[in-house]
Amino acid sequence: MSDTTYTYAVAQIRALELSLLSAADIEQLVACKSQAQCLQLLAEKGWGGSEIPQEPEAILQAERQKAWQTVRELVKDDAAVLDVLSYPDLFHNLKAAVKQACTKEAVPEIYVADCAITGETMQQWLSEKDYDAFPENMRAAAREAFETLLHTGDGQLCDVIVDRAALVAIRQAGQVASEPILRDYAESTVAVADIRIAARGMKTGKNQEFLLRALAPCDAFVPENLAAAALRGAQPLCDYLESAGYGEAGQALRESPAAFERWCDNRIIETIEPQKRNSFTAGPLIAYLLGRENEIKTVRIILTGKHNGLPEAEIRERVRKMYG
């Protein structure tokens, strides 16, 4: 797409950004007395619609589909720019397809819709052991995960294989991307995922073999060094993160599990914030889509908290930073 075309698309996105939820809007949602009151407030802000069931998940799914449809329409002449953002859904479907093909048990709504390859198609390829039908960046993981689950029944190891393949695919896509935001997004996504893996591995007593199988290469860390720090305990891990430029991750890890998970998502938002000053590339469109994903995730956290009767303070601790 030309700069002129992107200028028009960015102008459209700037108008849409005005309807993103602000920090004040999120605080209003947190202060609501019930989930029903939250849904009413969201409806007043244009979420859902007359044709959407007034159920939390239906509304959230509709908003996500709306965001993707809008951005896809704006970049239809350069749609490949969004491919890397779809990898989490695509590889989620691979994990689900592996389990469906192995167990032969039909699980309703297990697949994410609107992917480049449907979960049902992946399931058929796996059942036929037609691994070559998969894209190159999924092929080896599809074979290894399916054969592993088939012969060992180890669902966790199957997930590790696919999750790492997804991170490798995201990093590779970022390395060849023409848009700086995609390079930054890919690096941040893999780094944050590796920190999550190390932190969870440390807390659950995973061994070095497991960690090295799960961690993906990235510019920020040497997997062997990150794994070694996690194996030594919380303080060595936090010290290593600080030495690698991720001191805030260590601080959040010390604070609480909720603070750590919040930091992980906030780091991605901080990565895309500079796009607010960009008017001539696809950057603002990608940032808007990631911002909407983060917004929807935050609303889901609040709605779930209200449904479960969590105190306001506990919900507030989980709230993510807004892009708007």
CB atoms within 10 A of CB 256: 12
Helix (H, G, I), strand (E, B) or coil at 9: helix
Q: What's the pLDDT tens digit per position in 117-164?
A: 999 999 999 999 999 999 999 999 999 999 999 999 999 999 999 999
Please give the Cα distance from 206 to 227 (Å, whole number): 10
The residue among 46, 47, 10, 41 whose CA lies nearest residue 25 is: 41
Q: 29: pLDDT confidence band, cut at 50, 70 and 90?
A: very high
Write down the pLDDT at residue 242: 96
Q: What's the pLDDT tens digit per position in 60-69?
A: 999 999 999 9
Please give the Cα distance from 178 to 184 (Å, whole number): 11
Say yes or no to pLDDT of 275 above 80.
yes
The residue among 253, 281, 292, 301 whose CA lies nearest residue 62 is: 292
* Angle, CA 206 vertex, CA 205 and CA 210 arms, to 5°: 175
Type of residue found at 118: T
284, 276 in Cβ contact below 8 A? yes
The two three-digit tokens of residue 33, written as one number:
């007395």
> Which one-letter DSSP state was computed for residue 66?
H
Give me the helix-helix angle, 234-243 and 180-204, nearest 10°: 160
> What are the respective helix, strand and coil percentages of the chain, to the nearest 5?
75, 0, 25
CB atoms within 10 A of CB 244: 18
Section 272-282 average pLDDT: 85
Is the model more confident about 126 or about 49? 126
Say yes or no to pLDDT of 90 above 70.
yes
Q: 280: pLDDT confidence band, cut at 50, 70 and 90?
A: confident
